[in-house]
Amino acid sequence: PQAGSDTAALRATAQRDGDCFVLNGTKQFVSNGSEAGVAVVLAQTDKSKGKKGWSAFVIDPRQAGYQVSRIESKLGQHTAHTAQIVFDNFRAPATSLLAEEGCGYSTILGSLSDGRIGIAFIAAGAARGALDAALQYANEREVSGRTIIELQGVAFDLADMAAQVDVAIQYCLHAARLCEAGQECGKEASIAKLFASEMAEKVCSQALQIHGGYGYLTDFPVERYFRDVRVTSIYEGTSHIQKLIIARSLA
């Protein structure tokens, strides 16, 4: 819970005990942590080695010692539970090690690009949904005998939204192709996530605005898009973290 973007602040431990590792610690913001049938856990197996002393385990959440201590109440994404998990003397067989002991940090880092590209697509998809909803509304809503899409101000807003959504989707596809080909794509994944997540927040907000007062009601989908998309610039690395990665790649 205290770590956030500071991955080096990891405190969970996994101490060897015969043919098992005993896991203790607390994990915060675990997506579907209360629902998943499999969990991947990162913990310190040798504190003296720093990040080279971290190991990853593939474990069964149904075992004793895996405790769901809290389900978070969130602004959006209500259908995806986010949990706090406590490991209380959880016994993980040595065979549950992912890769080798001490390779956990590099193993987890290797999956970050995949995750960031996935979040970028989530953001772009929400923006696409919000744009579609705004287009439908603008073609149906009439003011002074004309649909509001005939008003230049609204039409220009929709044009800007469409351009941003299309650019985001194309760059997400570019990053995904690099990732699928096994090429280094840390910078591209960060660019995709940064651009798509910040673009989506603006587009969803504008879609709500086009709906006027109705956009603020739960009768229309744009209020949910607006709430759901906000977290995409936070999880899997905040926008500032993405900018840091991109800046380092330019040096």
Give the model confidence (pLDDT) of 126-152 as tens digits. 999 999 999 999 999 999 999 999 999
Query: According to the model, what pLDDT value does residue 106 have?
Result: 87
Query: According to the model, what pLDDT value does residue 251 have?
Result: 84
Positions of the chain with pLDDT lower than 50, given as ranges:
none
Active-site annotation holds for 201: no
Query: According to the model, what pLDDT value does residue 53 have?
Result: 95
Query: According to the model, what pLDDT value does residue 107 have?
Result: 86
Contact (Cβ atoms closer than 8 angstroms) between residue 42 and residue 108? yes
SS3 26: strand
Contact (Cβ atoms closer than 8 angstroms) between residue 76 and residue 200? no
Q: Tokens 């596809």 label which residue?
A: 173
pLDDT tens digits for 144-179?
Answer: 999 999 999 999 999 999 999 999 999 999 999 999
**Catalytic-role residue among 188, 201, 223, 236:** 236
